[in-house]
Amino acid sequence: MKRFAILTSGGDAPGMNAAIRAATLLGVAAGAEVYGVEQGYAGLLEGAIRPLTPRDVDLILREGGTILGSARSKAFHLLERRQEARAHLKKHGIEGLIVIGGNGSLTGLLHLTDPKENDLGLLGIGLPASIDNDLGLTRLAIGVDTAINTIVEACDKISDTAAAHDRTFIVEVMGRDCGYLAMTSAIASAANAVLFPEMDKNEDEIVDTVVRAVKKVRARTGRSRRVLVIKAEGVRIKVDELKARVDARLKAELGGPEVETRVTVLGHVVRGGRPTAQDRLIASRLAAAAVTGLMSGVTRAMASWNPPANLPPEWIYGSKSDPQCALIDLPRVLEETERMLKGESQYVNWRKKAFAEIESALAL
Ligand code: F6P
């Protein structure tokens, strides 16, 4: 492997820069020339490829976002576009690609490295990066830890004012199809209820969950009666409608204007910011595994952080030099990701069950 490129794609995630830096430094140290693709697959189709030197990546691990830029592109579903992308890589003499991104981005890598159409012999390894933590066979993706910390910091601030006024807040956090951010930040910010897409509640049950939590907390005497509800954006009911329906029920059942709920949508705030030390470390270690793999000819794999134990050995590639990272067969990763999205994954079902067990304790 004389020359490889790095590409960031899909929604950015804090820690992407740390991965770019580590992959560049370790690639150069191993004797490779490293290139960066700008603006994800969209940039690749335009041939926006430039050399990356250790000086270019100096200190970038402290910054959120991605110095390479990112984009969401569906162009890779078309063979013609993939051939154009391969032609650009060939022109630059690029033999390997590290793609840092989520489900769609790693699916793009799988297509690009498909042996049936990949005459170039391009090798590719993915790094999981998605604040949603919705990728299979990796305990964490790059960006998740920072996103949780951002949510918890915001909820702590909201809790201060909510406690002072005995108010109820519904805080909506990112998470399109996966409630991981909502679940984990709910525990870490002592929320009284949590709503996430995997729990399969209908709209009435969702409203009921919030109303029950508010009534339980408001029945307290002599203690703070702040109510914090964390809602993942992927939950089927829109937050404004939820507020209206909860307020109507509370007014009817409790009376008094002070029961009105407040809504805060954290939105893209959750995706930005300086990566935590944990995200910088995870990103750097995953990048190290990817570079080692590429240099020794591994392809169509994803570097995974703490993969589940007992995976079949044929799903694991390369020598495992880091006890917490492994290169896992990319098609298997994407199959498990699909199961997670459909609610058929064992791991997601465990999370659901764990939350069902603690739900009644949250508002005590
Ligand atoms: O990257 C994941 C994510 O942040 C989801 O949580 C969210 O639904 C989506 O991206 C938003 O994407 P965009 O910024 O493209 O609207």
Confidence band, pLDDT 50/70/90 cuts, at residue 359: confident
Q: What is the pLDDT of residue 364?
A: 84
Where a domain ends, among 212, 245, 272? 272
Cα of 133 from ligand 1 centre, angstroms: 12
Whether 176 is in the pocket of ligand 1, judged by its Cβ within 6 Å, is yes
Is the pLDDT confidence value at 180 over 90?
yes
Whether 271 is in the pocket of ligand 1, judged by its Cβ within 6 Å, is yes
Note whether 230 and 131 are same-domain residues.
no
CB distance 41 to 6 below 8 Å: no
Q: What is the pLDDT of residue 75?
A: 85
- Specify the amino acid at residue 16: M
What would the mean pLDDT of 20-32 be, rounded to a whole number? 98
Sign of the dihedral through C-alpha 305, 308, 313, 314: negative
Where a domain ends, among 246, 272, 298? 272
- Ligand 1 atom closest to the Cα of residue 13 is 1
What would the mean pLDDT of 73-89 be, rounded to a whole number? 92
- Ligand 1 atom closest to the Cα of residue 102 is 1
Instruction: Please count the structural domains in the chain.
Output: 2
SS (H, E, C) the chain: CCEEEEEECCCCCCCHHHHHHHHHHHHHHCCCEEEEECCHHHHHHCCCEEEECHHHHCCHHHCCCCCCCCCCCCHHHCHHHHHHHHHHHHHCCCCEEEEEECHHHHHHHHHHCCCCCCCCCCEEEEEEECCCCCCCCCCECECHHHHHHHHHHHHHHHHHHHHHHCCEEEEEECCCCCCHHHHHHHHHCCCCEEECHHHCCCHHHHHHHHHHHHHHHHCCCCCCCCEEEEEECCCCCCHHHHHHHHHHHHHHHCCCHHHCEEEEECHHHHHCCCCCHHHHHHHHHHHHHHHHHHHCCCCCEEEEECCCCCCCHHHEECCCCCCCEEEEEHHHHHHHHHHHHHCCCHHHHHHHHHHHHHHHHCCC
Note whether 73 and 155 are same-domain residues.
no
Beta strands 227-232 and 168-173: pairing type? parallel
Could you tell me if residue 356 is inside a domain? no
Q: What is the pLDDT of residue 257?
A: 61
Is the pLDDT confidence value at 165 over 80?
yes
Q: Whose CA is nearest to atom 10 of ligand 1?
A: 11
Q: 321 vs 89, which has greater pLDDT?
A: 89
Could you tell me if residue 250 is inside a domain? yes
Q: What is the pLDDT of residue 258?
A: 66
Note whether 90 and 31 are same-domain residues.
yes
Q: Whose CA is nearest to atom 13 of ligand 1?
A: 11
Note whether 9 and 114 are same-domain residues.
yes
Backbone φ, ψ for residue 76 (5° rounding): -75, 0
Q: What is the pLDDT of residue 237?
A: 96
Note whether 266 and 333 are same-domain residues.
no
Asked if 134 is an active-site residue, the reply is no
Where a domain ends, among 272, 303, 332? 272
Whether 101 is in the pocket of ligand 1, judged by its Cβ within 6 Å, is no
Could you tell me if residue 332 is inside a domain? yes
Could you tell me if residue 353 is inside a domain? no
CATH number, domain of 170, equals 3.40.50.460
Sign of the dihedral through C-alpha 120, 125, 130, 136: positive
Whether 8 is in the pocket of ligand 1, judged by its Cβ within 6 Å, is no
Note whether 10 and 66 are same-domain residues.
yes
Q: 227 vs 259, which has greater pLDDT?
A: 227
What would the mean pLDDT of 238-244 be, rounded to a whole number? 97
Q: What is the pLDDT of residue 321?
A: 80
pTM for this predicted structure: 0.96
Could you tell me if residue 207 is inside a domain? yes
Note whether 120 and 164 are same-domain residues.
no
Q: What is the pLDDT of residue 267?
A: 98
- Ligand 1 atom closest to the Cα of residue 181 is 6
Is the pLDDT confidence value at 256 over 80?
no
Q: Which residues contact 332 (CB under 8 A, 6 or more apart)?
A: 136, 137, 311, 315
Average pLDDT of the chain is 95
Could you tell me if residue 359 is inside a domain? no
Could you tell me if residue 351 is inside a domain? no
How far is Cα 208 from Cα 245, in angstroms, rounded to an integer?
Answer: 10
Note whether 243 and 319 are same-domain residues.
no
Q: 56, 114, 119, 132: which one is catalytic?
A: 132
Confidence band, pLDDT 50/70/90 cuts, at residue 223: confident
Cα of 129 from ligand 1 centre, angstroms: 12
CATH number, domain of 115, equals 3.40.50.450
Is the pLDDT confidence value at 224 over 90?
no
The two tokens of residue 135 are 């990728």
Note whether 279 and 163 are same-domain residues.
no
Could you tell me if residue 349 is inside a domain? no
Note whether 114 and 157 are same-domain residues.
no
Q: What is the pLDDT of residue 360?
A: 85
How far is Cα 10 from Cα 39, in angstroms, rounded to an integer?
Answer: 9
Domain with 166 in it: 145-272
CB distance 23 to 287 below 8 Å: yes
Q: What is the pLDDT of residue 74?
A: 85
Cα of 11 from ligand 1 centre, angstroms: 6
Confidence band, pLDDT 50/70/90 cuts, at residue 213: very high
Note whether 8 and 137 are same-domain residues.
yes
What would the mean pLDDT of 82-109 be, rounded to a whole number? 97
How far is Cα 98 from Cα 95, in angstroms, rounded to an integer?
Answer: 11
Place of tokens 């590639």: 317
Note whether 150 and 107 are same-domain residues.
no
Q: What is the pLDDT of residue 289?
A: 97
